Structure 1
Amino acid sequence: MDYKGYLIDLDGTMYNGTEPILAAPRFIKRLQDKQVPFLFVTNNTTKTQEEVMDNLQTNFGITVTEDHIYTGSLATAKYMKKLNKGNKVFAIGETGLKDALTKAGFIEDKKNPDFVVVALDREATYTDFETATLAIQKGAQFIATNKDTNMPSEKGMVPGAGSLVALVVAATRVEPTFIGKPESIIMGEALEAIGLKKEEVVMVGDNYETDILAGIQNDIDTLLVYTGFTKPEDLTLDMKKPTHSIHSLDEWTIR
């Protein structure tokens, strides 16, 4: 199948935590050699675009520019900006999220925020979740960066943003607006960023619940690679299958 562009996941597809996936840099090099546009679309909100770029180059031998990277943080900030419902926010999240929100013009407000955003935060405290809960109960709009309950690492499958979001949902009984894969919000923004139509691209990823469903639910072809979260035995008969599935990116031919 010929595709004009590729939307590509990072963790579990390009690497597993700090562990390299050897086929990944070869795959990106083939795209670059053939001048095929690609965009990394990641639910990870912990790093800025620059940090993601540096991590790819320094640790995994993948050389790209910041324009190749679209994070859940950027998608969240852009979505909130479009709503035009105020600029006060309380965010549970790391550098990538807070940097994106600040650059988009949002300011922190713990007492009366317009928005509460919950993302992965490995240093979040009980007080943070208390603040978020009380603000949502007062009427702040609840935004969640993504549903990933787990994420692959060199230690195994560790808790992801979705696990933290579930805590706040349980405490408030309020369902958030989700931004990241598999939601249409981040996929629509990614298509805008790469400048292609949905029928012209393929979504490449390791996680059926996020990457592959992002394609299926938004009418985008999918390429599932079994290097991270989802294993072949996880695909049951009642699940809609990915357009393509492979065990290694080395198996994929770029035309």
Structure 2
Amino acid sequence: MVTSVISDMDGVIYRGKQLIAGANEFVQKLLADKTPFLFLTNNAEQTPLDLKLKLESLGIHGLTEDNFITSAMATAMFLRQQKERAKVYVIGGGGLINELYNVGFSISESNPDYVVVAKSSTFSFEQLKKAVRFIDHGAKFIGTNPDMIDPVEGGNEPAAGTILAAISAATGKKPYIVGKPNALMMMLASRKLGVHPEECVMVGDRMDTDIVGGMEAGMKTALVLSGVTTTDMLNDFPYKPDYVFNHVGEIDFKSL
């Protein structure tokens, strides 16, 4: 029986700066029914406070920072388990840097232990050169998430996966990716909610991250067609979601 909800954000709640139909009703129903839930996002650019404020600007109120877990948070937690102190070269935004600082890591271009890569709107050839050099000299290659594109109003834009691909092509090395579809991300979320994965439903718009990650963690999965995945794409995958909806406003969790 589903008692808790873990939901993606990009392509599920909003596209860029535009709220998706039914999203506010979806959140308000979760709050009214006191359903345990988390927004789990591969977005590593923003902090939970940033995301809360963003949703408020779109008209969704009543959330707290505890309602969010990001791939930046998961990456910092994972690396802290691997090494107590570390120097990190970062390609990514303030959200990722903040989380790495929070676990006691230093941001450095002097013999870093890790090269950590997320989506970056300011990614440059100079950063690419530095990342390649550090990895060639032994730094561990870490990606926050593998998403190749992100849905925005009017279409899609390149995401973390495109930067990871460039670095991987130049170094011949593949990154270890912490965020979705790694089931580690799902397990951290269910642990934060205090429930078993089989009690959760994972709601997302991506078959290759949200749905496969939820499935491998033992969760029910609900695909929404408001983001990246279309109905025509479903047959391209060797697995399927438990449920398919046009948008989150159609979901009645009591019937799952």
Superposed pair shares fold, TM > 0.5: yes
CA contact under 8 A between 1:42 and 1:72: conserved in structure 2?
yes
- Match for residue 63 of structure 2? 64
1:106: Cα distance to partner? 0.8
- Match for residue 18 of structure 1? 17
- Match for residue 74 of structure 1? 73
CA contact under 8 A between 1:79 and 1:185: conserved in structure 2?
no
- Match for residue 120 of structure 1? 119
TM-score, normalised with respect to structure 1: 0.96
Residues 98-247 of structure 1 correspond to what in structure 2 (within 5 A)? 98-236=97-235, 239-247=238-246
Q: Secondary structure of 1:224's match?
A: strand
Q: Find the aligned partners of 2:13 and 2:69 in 1 and give their Cα distance.
A: 15
- Match for residue 93 of structure 1? 92
CA 1:182–1:237: 2 relative to 1, 3 Å: closer
Q: Find the aligned partners of 2:163 and 2:79 in 1 and give their Cα distance.
A: 20
Give the unaligned 5+ runs of structure 1: none
Q: Secondary structure of 1:101's match?
A: helix
Q: Secondary structure of 1:235's match?
A: helix
Read off the aligned partner of 2:162 and give its amino acid letter. S
Read off the aligned partner of 2:251 and give its amino acid letter. W
CA RMSD of aligned residues (A): 1.2
- Match for residue 52 of structure 1? 51
Q: Find the aligned partners of 1:29 and 1:238 in 2 and give their Cα distance.
A: 33
Q: Secondary structure of 1:151's match?
A: strand
Q: Kindly, what percent of the aligned residue pairs are identical?
A: 34
CA contact under 8 A between 1:86 and 1:114: conserved in structure 2?
no
Q: Find the aligned partners of 1:16 and 1:63 in 2 and give their Cα distance.
A: 20
CA 1:132–1:11: 2 relative to 1, 3 Å: same
Q: Find the aligned partners of 2:100 and 2:162 in 1 and give their Cα distance.
A: 22
1:217: Cα distance to partner? 2.1
TM-score, normalised with respect to structure 2: 0.96
1:129: Cα distance to partner? 1.2
Q: Find the aligned partners of 2:82 and 2:147 in 1 and give their Cα distance.
A: 24
Give the unaligned 5+ runs of structure 2: none
CA contact under 8 A between 1:30 and 1:254: conserved in structure 2?
no
Q: Secondary structure of 1:230's match?
A: coil
1:85: Cα distance to partner? 6.0
Q: Find the aligned partners of 1:8 and 1:15 in 2 and give their Cα distance.
A: 12
1:63: Cα distance to partner? 3.0
CA contact under 8 A between 2:183 and 2:214: conserved in structure 1?
no
CA contact under 8 A between 1:15 and 1:60: conserved in structure 2?
no
Q: Find the aligned partners of 1:78 and 1:188 in 2 and give their Cα distance.
A: 13
- Match for residue 36 of structure 1? 35
Q: Find the aligned partners of 1:238 and 1:191 in 2 and give their Cα distance.
A: 25
1:92: Cα distance to partner? 0.3
Read off the aligned partner of 2:75 and give its amino acid letter. T
Number of residue pairs the alignment of both structures matches: 254
